[in-house]
Amino acid sequence: MSDRARLMGWLILIAVLAIAPLFITSGRWIGFLEMTLFIAVLGQGWNILGGYGGQYSFGHAVFFGTGAYIQALLQFKFGWSPWITLWFAVSGAALVGAFVGYLSFRYGLKGSYFALITLAFAEAFHVLSRSFPSITEGGRGVQLALNQDPVQAISTFQFNFAGPFLKAYGFYYTIFAILLLTYWVTWWMERSRFGAQLVAIRENEDAAEALGINTFRVKMGAICLSAAVTASAGVYYVQKYLFIEPGIAYGPTKSVEALFAAIIGGVGTVLGPLLGSFFIHGVGEIAKEIIGPVFGDRPGVDLILFGLILIFVLAFVPRGLAGLLEALWKRKVGGRNA
């Protein structure tokens, strides 16, 4: 697919995502879109390291949680502005990325070993966050003060009690802006020399090393960037829900959601995580609304269906939805390019 066609496609998609919500008055569907974009950002963070770099992490929550906790604690303990704390949140997570990356790559961990060590780090942070309540509020979690004054909505970065437009769309455009930024960074990375080196490492690390690429440095860059992107999702979460606790921050849920979105959507592509997230949430809604009631709303049905579809997609659509789209496009324009 030519770059120009790709660019056109992206511009159309961005325009749709930017304008369509204005035609949606249903809070529930705006919420659905917010959730979907949120996971799309989370997934993109994972994708940078896993999809492009081939280093599959099973503990990406460690970056999400760190970003979320820094964002929450600096506001909670020192009353700083959320617009300032977010820089600390993102860079703090990048530092954690550097720490995890340094240890893992310095000692040459790859494949399943790398996956396992990220799992261990996520769990370690989970334990730490609940064991030092004087620092992190422990199991109680950090509850940020709710702002009910519309005038302060922007300065407190909270839109639940803002003016009509912000109340309905404030959070949507926040996560949309984060998506635009992080996806643009990924797009840029894909086309940069750094990105090419990263992909080379994914394909064959030894060969890349032999070609003179400083694989350690490139992987470190990837993990720091990945951490920063993932942390931005953490920042959004804290502002939207005003609450964070060890289980939400460092539990396995966010790690799993991140990697599922990226893999289902198509690893190593910019569009992948977004597609994957839409697919996952769409299926989830269908399962809840249509299948669930058939079984008398007994719990578990929607998740069974979800798991089955996941396995199906993994079995029959290995390059993810993005790969599928690419194949369809090729077939459509195949005649012309032949």
Taking the C-alpha atoms of residue 164 and residue 297, their distance in angstroms, rounded to an integer, is 35
Region binding another protein by CB under 8 A among candidate stretches 3-11, 188-196, 206-214, 304-312 = 304-312
Q: Which of 275, 323, 283, 317 is nearest to 303 (CA)?
A: 283
Binding mask 189-218 for another protein (x = CB under 8 A): ------------------------------
Long-range contacts of 4-8 (CB under 8 A, 24+ apart): 5/329
Residues 6+ apart with CB under 8 A from 151: none
Q: How far is the CB of 184 from another protein (least distance, A)?
A: 26
Q: How far is the CB of 103 from another protein (least distance, A)?
A: 6
C-beta of 87 vs 132, nearer to another protein: 132
Instruction: List the one residue from 95, 120, 154, 180 that touches another protein (CB under 8 A).
Output: 120
Does the protein bind another protein through residue 142 (CB under 8 A)?
A: no
Does the protein bind another protein through residue 253 (CB under 8 A)?
A: yes
Instruction: List the one residue from 117, 166, 220, 233 that touches another protein (CB under 8 A).
Output: 117
Taking the C-alpha atoms of residue 95 and residue 108, their distance in angstroms, rounded to an integer, is 19
C-beta of 12 vs 111, nearer to another protein: 111
Query: Residue 289: left if φ>0, alpha if ψ -120 to 50, beta else—which one?
Result: alpha
Region binding another protein by CB under 8 A among candidate stretches 74-82, 142-150, 207-215, 328-336 = 142-150
Instruction: List the one residue from 15, 135, 140, 328 that touches another protein (CB under 8 A).
Output: 140
Does the protein bind another protein through residue 263 (CB under 8 A)?
A: yes
Taking the C-alpha atoms of residue 184 and residue 190, their distance in angstroms, rounded to an integer, is 10
Does the protein bind another protein through residue 259 (CB under 8 A)?
A: yes
Q: CA-CA-CA-CA torsion for 180, 186, 190, 195, nearest 10 degrees? A: 160
